[in-house]
Structure 1
């Protein structure tokens, strides 16, 4: 999955989740306006909208104050009744989707009241999923990461290593830069954690697909065209990653060390890590699965280390139960305050409008710091996030903080709505005594619609009957330069033309489609299947340029022949 998919949209992204306010997918829309947030600096000279004013004119003011008539609390009996149905909910979703494995944990009022695994770690193998099976979290890594940062922000006595949500990122990482120097000087961790920096949707993800590492990708964010600063939501894994790394640098640690020392060790999360290597060597780990001709197969390995804070954590249902307890107790765990309440509360505030209502009485969706932020039918704050790898994982966390209630669902299959359906059905039963809709049908349709929308408009697998022939191979062979994606080389081999791209490089065979256009299979997490390579041939009969539409979403996908 791509654009609006991947780690948050790829998991978090279900229109169903947004409808119920569970923390649904990042929805990419035009120029969303931000809500005002504490600590906002003045707007960039490149914009004419003061943060918050556009929303204030259209929407009721959001307040952290409780409603005058607090909604009735969920009774322990209502929650227990929902828990008693969770086995059946999980098994029904697994039966309908075929997802090989799942693990679920529920916390209520500082107690883990449900912890169970279902199915198998790898399709066709006997190893069962249990509470201690390690899953890749994909974008559920994001609220985990901002929990780490909340502790760093709230720690008193840090001296010169103190950090704040509203520090300029360049204060802690002087080498960081975006295309606009003014934005570079003013962008903060809060801006990057809430996806309102102006970076385009999923900036940097396609470089990761080509095999580039973290350093290269972050350095090349400066090449990306920027949208309006602090007035537009666009989901970025690597903008988020930069913010987390800047905080870690300020504390003199790597991100992997910071997350371990500030969160995982204090909570006893012994099977949780921000290192892919730790997941890869865990004996009790869930493999990734994709659907192939109606069957689930463990075909891929996804190494997300480059974007570790945004999508590279791994954990278990048991460990995440401890994290839910910390969150729902306002930063207190086992009677000890680990996170200052004000630092944690900041993550729950709406920082940007992410999903405008699509109907007159629709409910908007917001993004906080690593959380999708919405409000349920009774006005209660509801926080959530989904995660997913198109290569084979889907996860969800959903919380009602005022009720002390939260659920985490981990699966080892590509996003089909299973994780969201279990979480939303459970909350529906707790609140209403029954499911109000078929959440799996809605979530599954949303994911299927996204997948259709991401496919190329042209079917490159079926050349037109009247297709013009290709020129001789020498018209296309050569080396083409691109400052963002690096060099692209086209050579002739026995079976035809082959394109090589990326640091390894990747070998991508070209198949003639029509005229000077060839088809190739796009690689990686954001693959859209077959897409085109369009050569522009000069008067000398040789291609001067080649454009790859799959890499050209922000105008950076054209490669120019080297002399």
Structure 2
């Protein structure tokens, strides 16, 4: 195994050169020993500070299996059960229909089978709503396929973790530290964004911009979805967590999480990727905060990735029967590097060679996942060949209401119309596109190019409603004018 480590280092260095990703840190554990810890590249482009094994990275969705470990500890303590209804610990929680509200459990939400649609609630976070408000507003989202379909949701899992923390009588951030980070010696790991921001040795997230290469992106504050995406950690700390996973809750003879509670996180709970040809192809499953399946040779494989478009990419892969695990943390928006590093090393360790171009495979997958879900209505703001003028500003100005997203205000500013959204009433300039269609530039994790803002004008030549395209993917983007 150790003979393959120089090959691993060469692979990482080659992938960083090929992609330009600024920095990466990794840890390898084999048979309960940390056999490799190393940093590569820079914490921030243009600055000399290098990445090392103690550089703090945002984990993004690699937070989910970490959160599952915390809840497993509470399950082992007898404070909660994986099959407890959420409302047993959070009576104020509600989804769109009463039966699902009564029935949905911690297990359902950690397995992404609650009926919430894919990434439900994420746009509320982009608008600036906090965790409590987002979880309350989940009741306005339509459901589809309770326990019958897989749909990945940050705020569904966050709701379950928050309910478990309520059962423990403390905040999620405190429970995580008390039941996992401190007992395991993960001294630099935190579920609070402020702790990441205060760390001197931390990685700066980068975005790839046309013509400018990799540049520092806006700092992503993921506190609203802390259990699902808000953990920050180091390769060294994550190596201890890898040992805990493969040790079934024990490290150095000390039991931290009961085996039967942790084991449940590694068992398939929901089909997440049905085989295209069930006679030939492997089916993908999701456990509780983990992808659970097999590699090409049929070995059990646990894995999970994390990604922020604003500048984080992480991955963990474990072959538990071989006692082998690797975690890779990068400070750039996802292009497949951490996943390719992990899979390439597992190839080297088990077959002696890299069996395929994993970077090309994962790079293509992330490119598809990064395809914007809006923009077709206005082709990202490109003017039509012939544009019709708008009505006077007064036809569009006013307050518009939406149960999920709250009020949207259209007002006259010094340079034309502005759109105000979210709890902070952030103002966005509206640019005219064609007659009753304008555009604005969204911000946040799910923002790409300009989005259409389309007014429906009534017979009195006043807009009766407005549909905001980037908020309308799941049918919730229409705002109706408040009574006037």
**TM norm. shorter chain > 0.5:** yes
Partner of 1:120: 42
After TM superposition, the structure 1 = structure 2 runs for residues 77-476 of structure 1, keeping only pairs within 5 Å, are: 79-155=1-77, 158=78, 162-294=79-211, 295-359=213-277, 361-452=280-371, 454-458=373-377, 459-476=379-396
Cα separation, 2, equivalents of 1:118 and 1:105: 12
Q: How many Å separate the matches in 2 of 1:418 and 1:464?
A: 39
SS for the counterpart of 1:550 is helix
Give distance in 2, aligned partners of 1:112 and 1:286.
22
Q: Distance in 2 between matches of 1:101 and 1:81?
A: 24
Of 469, 491, 498, which aligns to 2:418?
498
- Looking at structure 2, the residues matched to 152 and 85 of structure 1 have their Cα atoms a distance apart, in angstroms, of 40
* Structure 1 residue 540: Cα displacement: 0.6
CA distance, structure 1, for counterparts of residue 449 and residue 277 of structure 2: 34
Maintained 8 Å contact 1:479/1:487: yes
Give the gaps of 5 or more residues in structure 1: 1-78
After the TM superposition, which residues 532-543 of structure 1 pair with which residues of structure 2 at under 5 Å, given as runs?
A: 532-543=452-463
Instruction: Please state how far the C-alpha of 1:314 moved relative to its aligned partner.
Output: 0.3
Give aligned pairs, total. 480
SS at 2:219's partner residue?
coil
- Choose 212-221 or 478-487, whichever is displaced more: 478-487
Q: For residue 479 of structure 2, what is the aligned residue in structure 1?
A: 559
Deviations 1:479-537 (A, max 9, x none): 11112111111112232211110111221111111121111112210113211001000
Describe the SS at the equivalent of 1:228: coil
After TM superposition, give the deviation of residue 292 of structure 1 in Å: 1.4
Q: Describe the SS at the equivalent of 2:350.
A: helix
Q: Which residue of 2 aligns with 1:508?
A: 428
SS at match of 1:379: coil
Give the drift of 1:456. 2.6
Residues 81 and 430, structure 1, Cα contact 8 Å, conserved in 2: no
Provide the aligned C-alpha RMSD in A: 1.2
Distance 2:381 2:313 in 1: 29
SS of alignment partner, residue 95 of structure 2: coil
Deviations 1:345-396 (A, max 9, x none): 1101111111112345221111110001111233221010000100010000
Contact 2:374 2:469 in 1 (8 A): no
Distance 1:300 1:437, change over 3 A: same
- CA deviation string 1:419-473 (max 9, x = no partner): 1111111111112211111111111111112223535324132121122221111
The answer as to whether partners of 2:373 and 2:470 remain within 8 angstroms in 1 is: no
Q: Secondary structure at the match of 2:480?
A: strand
Distance (whole Å) between structure 2 residues aligned to residue 255 and residue 261 of structure 1 = 10
Mapped contact 1:193–1:370 kept (Cα < 8 A):
yes
Q: How many angstroms apart in 2 are the aligned matches of 1:165 and 1:222?
A: 22
String of CA shifts for 1:226-265, please: whole Å, max 9, x gaps. Answer: 1121111011111100100111110111111111011000
Bigger drift between 376-385 and 276-285 goes to: 376-385
- Normalising by structure 2, report the TM-score: 0.97
User: Residue 266 of structure 2 contacts residue 292 of structure 2 at CA under 8 Å; is this kept in 1?
Assistant: yes
Secondary structure (helix, strand or coil) at the match of 1:146 reads: helix
- Which structure's relative contact order is higher, taking Cα pairs within 8 Å and 6+ residues apart? 1
C-alpha separation in 2, matches of 1:330 and 1:201: 31
Look up the SS of the partner of 1:339 in the other structure: coil
Rounded Cα–Cα distance in structure 1 between residues aligned with 2:187 and 2:355: 38
Tell me how far 1:554 sits from its aligned partner.
2.2
> Do 1:366 and 1:374's aligned partners in 2 also have CA atoms closer than 8 Å?
yes
Aligned 8 A contact 1:82 1:427 in 2: no
Q: Which secondary structure state, in structure 2, belongs to the residue aligned with residue 377 of structure 1?
A: coil
CA distance in 1, matches of 2:391, 2:26: 57
Give the whole-Å Cα distance in 2 for the aligned partners of 1:300 and 1:254.
Answer: 27
- Farther-moved stretch of structure 1 (319-328 vs 508-517): 508-517
Q: Partners in 2 of 1:217 and 1:226 — Cα distance?
A: 16
Secondary structure of 2:411 counterpart: strand
Which secondary structure does the structure 1 equivalent of 2:335 belong to?
coil
| In structure 2, C-alpha distance between the alignment counterparts of 1:300 and 1:419, rounded to whole Å | 21
